[in-house]
Amino acid sequence: MTPGRFITFEGGEGGGKSTQIEKLADYLRGRGVSVQVTREPGGTEVAEAIRRVLLDKSLPAMRADTELMLMFAARVEHVETLIKPALASGDWVLSDRFADASHVYQGAGRGVDETRLDALHRWSLGDFEPDLTLLLDLPVEQGMARVRQRGVKDRFEEEQTEFFERVRAGYLARAARFSQRFRVIDASDDIDTVARRIQTVVDAWLPN
């Protein structure tokens, strides 16, 4: 059996990751690919419970290290319980965020030292990484305008503009550092235009 592919979607708030994941899943299924769609933090019962803690605005503010370790705790559950078994069965897995998000949100955004973050990453995941990472990039103000249109914000979405500027810069720096698996997608256009850009990239991964 041919192993599946692991594709992650990254980017700041309002980039349309959830919408584009579903559109790509439909596109792949139409070509006979078995697809599982998931998200981070979350994807399993335990990880979803951790997600609720991480996004709960009614809780007191948590330390950056607490937030980081909760993210990786959820991620270990996600990888071992859902992602690896799905890939082993030949499914393609599309995930709304993965470990790059921690390097950017807790690293570039919160200021957690990258050396410590790298050590936690290696301890938690070893050399496991996505086959392809699609970075949906757009200006921060445009992304936040989209978030405002959605209504109620979660704990991360209520951060200040300066935080999201650091996040965007962190993502672009990470895409340059790991250019072999990252593809930067201009997410500032309409949904269908962005979907076509993603499909063009992913077509190269489809079986012959």
What's domain 6-203's superfamily in CATH? P-loop containing nucleotide triphosphate hydrolases (3.40.50.300)
104 pLDDT more than 80: yes
d(C-alpha 143, C-alpha 137), whole Å: 9
Give me the chain's average pLDDT, please.
Answer: 91
pTM above 0.85, yes or no: yes
Averaged pLDDT for residues 72-99: 97
Beta bridge partners of 8: 95, 133
Task: Please report which confidence band the pLDDT of residue 208 belongs to, taking 50, 70 and 90 as the band edges.
Answer: low
Dig out the tokens for 185 from the structure. Answer: 């997608």
pLDDT at position 157: 60
pLDDT tens, position by position, 19-56: 999 999 999 999 899 999 999 999 999 999 999 999 88
Classify the C-alpha dihedral 64-70-75-78 as positive or negative: negative
Q: H-type helices in the chain, by residue range? A: 17-29, 45-55, 64-78, 84-88, 99-102, 114-125, 140-150, 161-177, 191-203
**pLDDT tens across 121-150, in order?**
999 999 999 999 999 999 988 888 887 777
